[in-house]
Amino acid sequence: MTDAPAPLADPHLVYDPVAGNGPKDVVILGSTGSIGTQAIDLVLRNPDRFRVTGLSANGGRVALLAEQAHRLRVRTVAVAREDVVGALRDALTAWYGAGEPLPEILAGADAATQLAASDCHTVLNGITGSIGLAPTLAALEAGRTLALANKESLIVGGPLVKALAAPGQIIPVDSEHAALFQALAAGTRADVQKLVVTASGGPFRGRTRDELANVTVEDALAHPTWAMGPVITINSATLVNKGLEVIEAHLLYDIPFDRIEVVVHPQSYVHSMVEFTDGSTLAQATPPDMRGPIAIGLGWPERVPDAAPVFDWSKASTWEFHPLDNEAFPSVNLARHVGGLAGTAPAVFNAANEECVEAFRSGALPFNGIIDTVTRVVEEHGTPRPGTSLTVPDVLEAETWARARTRELTARTASAEARA
């Protein structure tokens, strides 16, 4: 993970349309979410390239999960919520014919982790949040190629993930990191001057901090270019998502934080850029559509034809780039600070943010209170002890503390606003 992305070492595990060695077996974690549903669309359009063997979901949409399982004819379905197993079995029975065996059902908090280690070629981790860490580690330890859309697992468990990952084993699925991944193939790490991560600016681009004081949840969910789940969409509105991506880029490519820049690009056509030491800059560009990055994650080192829309170059268009307003959106600089602290600090940052997003969605915290509260929790956590090695229990303990402390602070804020 220190040089430009390398192809997989074993060519027999890679789909070869010339040799005709059959479809690549894939497990999709978070199948009923935004990434998962788009991945399934891609798979269904390319049955000669991909075969899904397992699906996992939290359990909030059992009817959709059962439909997906039937359409893909998977071997295994995993669900985190044990209380929905009966409903899932009923939903599966409604889809499968009489006497037709149902897929195996795994249930519980470790179900996705079990599935991630199952027999397959590629695991697409599309789970949202740091609960994706255990499945990420399980997939890597089992030797699977990891198509990583769950940035939080890399951020909170960076050293753990990097210690397990072989060169080329992680293929990033975030649009920004998929763009960097492709551009970096044109050179080596020594050739890289700077990584430039683009941001749409979210729904509040151009607003001052004062103008953000009273924005609503509905305002924050109205992303101008991307269709995503509510947590990621709100993270894009605060630009926390971009801060997480800066940490992720640092961990994936071992580029120092002072050589990772964020620029605002409202059109979301250029997904990121790599500036090389000879003065050239390579930009990866497509219309905003996550099926392209998903296709890179599932298909690499092969490209999947017609995976996503293309530009109509016969039509005039304007592409803009603006500097980031760090005063209105301090989350990126906070993320750089947290990434520099390393240890459990990124886990605290991420967990506090997840709690603050939920508090904002419930009306217990104003929009600006998200970053204000996260900043306070990070400061209270302090600097990690030098010379200590990160462990999974360390991450879990730090997250537990951060969530509890954040709930205390958001409850005080809600109480104060109620009295005002």
Q: Which residues are annotated as a binding site for 1-deoxy-D-xylulose 5-phosphate?
A: 151, 175-176, 200, 223, 236, 241-242, 245
Structure tokens at 265: 């690009």
d(CA 391, CA 20): 43
3 state DSSP class of 322? strand
Does residue 159 contact residue 389 with C-beta atoms inside 8 Å?
Answer: yes
The residue type at 350: N
What is the SS3 assignment for 381-419? Answer: HCCCCCCCCCCHHHHHHHHHHHHHHHHHHHHHHHHHHHH
C-alpha to C-alpha distance for 365 and 354, rounded to whole angstroms = 12
322: phi then psi, degrees, rounded to nearest 5: -135, 150
**Which SS3 state, helix, strand or coil, does residue 309 take?**
coil
Tell me which residue has tokens 């798979």: 43
User: CA 258 from chain center: how many Å?
Assistant: 23
Q: Is the dihedral of CA 203, 206, 209, 211 positive or negative?
A: negative
Q: Containing H/E element for 175?
A: helix 175-184
Distance CA 286, CA 112 (A): 32
CB 408 within 8 A of CB 176: no
Listed in sequence order, the residues at least 6 apart from 160 whose beta carbon sits closer than 8 Å to its beta carbon are 133, 137, 390, 391, 392, 395
- Annotated binding-site ranges for NADPH: 32-35, 150, 152, 229
The secondary structure of 93-120 as a DSSP string is: HHHSPTTPPPPEEEESTTHHHHHHTSS-
Feature table: binding site = 32-35, 150-152, 174-176, 200, 223, 229, 236, 241-242, 245
Owner of token pair 């997939």: 139
CA distance 99 to 383: 60
User: Which DSSP state fits 148?
Assistant: E
Cα 154–Cα 157–Cα 158 angle in degrees, nearest 5? 60
Tokens in use for 123?
A: 């695991």
Tell me if residue 202 falls in helix, strand or coil.
Answer: helix
| Number of Cα atoms under 13 Å in the Cβ half of residue 112 | 26
Binding site feature residues for Mn(2+): 174, 176, 245
Pairing of strands 270-276, 281-285: antiparallel
